[in-house]
Structures are given as C-alpha cells and as structure tokens.
C-alpha cells in the first residue's frame, strides 16, 4: 500500500514537470493567424523554449488573450514585445 502511494505521488509530480517543446513555424503561424496576427509575429526562441514571444505594434487585448490562452494550453509563458516602427 505504501509503495503504491509513493509511486502514485511520483507519477503525479513528474506529470507536472513537462519540458517545453519547440513548435514549428507553421504551428506558430497557424496560432498567430487564428489570433489575428501576421505571419512571423509569434516566435519561440530555441534557447528559451518555454517562452512564446508575440512581437506586434499595438496589439489588442483580444489578441493578447488569444495568444495567452494558446501559450498556456501548450505549456508556454507568453511574452509581449511592443514594437514601435518609425516611418
């Protein structure tokens, strides 16, 4: 009984410690377009796989929420980078 309890606890803990995977650019572009972003505005750095970067000038609250929800479903932490392009 005690061994079964310890095994169950270990499995539960290991399920929480998943490693982030690197998504393909196609997956990121699909998620981005569903959230109203242009191609390439969602990126994931190979060295920091847990971070999902949204690079967009003046993103709407709806876009931020959409990206946040997608990131959380995929075990990622959303990071919003506000870009200002001078004309």
- The tens digit of pLDDT for each residue in 62-81 reads 999 999 999 999 999 999 99
Neighbours of 62 (CB within 10 A): 10
Residue ranges per structural domain of the chain: 20-82
Q: How many residues does the chain have?
A: 87
Closest C-alpha to 55, from 40, 76, 75: 40
pLDDT in tens, 13-60: 544 555 678 999 999 999 999 999 999 999 998 899 999 999 998 899
Angle between helix axes 61-73 and 25-34 (nearest 10 degrees) is: 140
With the CA atoms of 23, 82, 87 and 28 taken in that order, what torsion angle do they form, in degrees rounded to the nearest 10? 10
pLDDT in tens, 4-24: 556 655 555 544 555 678 999
Question: pLDDT class for 1, splitting at 50, 70, 90?
Answer: low
pLDDT score of 20: 76
């Amino acid at each position: 009984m005690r061994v079964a309890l310890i095994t169950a606890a270990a499995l539960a803990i290991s399920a929480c410690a998943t490693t982030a995977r690197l998504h393909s650019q196609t997956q990121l572009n699909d998620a981005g377009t569903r959230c109203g972003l242009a191609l390439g505005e969602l990126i994931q750095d190979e060295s920091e796989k847990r971070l999902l970067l949204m690079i967009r000038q003046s993103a709407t609250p709806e876009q931020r929420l959409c990206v946040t929800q997608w990131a959380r479903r995929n075990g990622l932490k959303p990071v919003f980078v506000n870009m200002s392009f001078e004309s």
